[in-house]
Amino acid sequence: MGAPVHGLATRGKESVTQVSANSKRHGRHLFSNKLFKFYFLFSILALCFVLGLVILFIGKTAMLLFGHLSPADFFFSFNWTPEEDSFGAAAFIVNTLSLTALTLLIAVPISVGMAVLCAEIAPKWMKTFIRPVLDLLVGIPSIVYGYIGLTVLLPFLRRISGESLGDGLLAAALVLALMVLPTICRISDDAIVSVPRKYRDAAYALGSTRLQVIMRVVLPAASRGIISAVILGMTRAVGETMAVVMVIGNTPQLAKTLFTPASVLTSNIVMQISNVEFDSTWNYALHMMAFLLLVISFVLILIIRVLGRKRRDAA
């Protein structure tokens, strides 16, 4: 009788020890979860605080402009002459929109075509080469693209156009297209790859060719992801500074041709912000340009979020 009782006692002690160990492990997990929740909450609050300070500072300074200048004079006048207290930003706004549109006109067809090539047509060895190269291009600093545009692209444009400078919207658009192309291509590639295989199989079963499957099935199914990629590329094009400064000419005027030296919102800010006094109409006008860029970026990012949510709901 002694041995069975001793065995039961031993097993009882082991059970108590195991329960105690499980309880300690559970306690550690609870502590870790609470710590991570606190960390994430703190990070979100810190991010919102910093973002709020930036928006508050830029927005508050920008709004001081309208105590010295009417909104109509700022948004609709093409005359930017700080020496005469004339701060019309219409030329910079139009140039920014024109540059963004021209950049997308160049970059989007090439990017989507390369994405289709990577996702649907290229052999495996080519995909393993193209995708890492595109990822590498995404990480190259913008000033490197600007330097390439300054030393290679501008001399080429001078020769083919006969212009003495070559600076202008076309040079800036080509540099920006090269910059945003990898981003649009990789995100579009992911969107195309995520299209379910059953869509392709059903189309092939109906006798469709590969081109018909790509054009009528795959691309429409991946359209929201591709649009998100294009908008993300547009956001980068709108906010780019250094590469644009090096090739656009930095002249505060409306670009009437592709080879007219001009300036956009970002380039005008970076070229003039160091020359102004803080408590001046000139400084307020530059801050209003920066605030306008913030609003544009916010709207574009909001559109991306809405499209992403619709894409998840559709899936």
The full set of domain ranges for the chain reads: 2-67, 71-314
**Which structure tokens are listed for 24?**
């300690």
Show the CA angle centred on residue 270, arms to residues 164 and 79, nearest 5°.
70
Query: Taking a C-beta distance cutoff of 8 angstroms, is the pair 289, 265 a contact?
Result: yes
* Global model pTM greater than 0.75: yes
| Predicted local confidence at residue 19, as pLDDT | 53
Q: Please state the separation of Cα 162 from the chain's center in Å.
A: 35
| Predicted local confidence at residue 314, as pLDDT | 60
Pairing of strands 86-87, 80-81: antiparallel
Helix axes 90-116 and 265-272, enclosed angle (nearest 10): 120
Residue partners of 128: CB distance under 8 A and separation at least 6: none
| Predicted local confidence at residue 32, as pLDDT | 78
Q: Model confidence over 164-216: pLDDT tens digits?
A: 667 889 999 999 999 999 999 999 999 999 999 999 989 999 888 888 999 99
**Which structure tokens are listed for 110?**
């090439």
| Predicted local confidence at residue 312, as pLDDT | 61
Tally helices (H) and strands (E) across the chain. 14, 2
| Predicted local confidence at residue 127, as pLDDT | 87
Domain 71-314 is found in CATH 1.10.510.10? no
pLDDT along the chain (315 residues), means of 10: 51 55 66 82 91 89 90 92 90 93 93 92 88 89 91 88 78 93 93 91 89 91 89 87 89 89 92 87 92 88 77 60
| Predicted local confidence at residue 8, as pLDDT | 47
Q: Please state the separation of Cα 301 from the chain's center in Å.
A: 8
| Predicted local confidence at residue 25, as pLDDT | 66
Gap between the Cα atoms of 171 and 181, Å rounded: 15
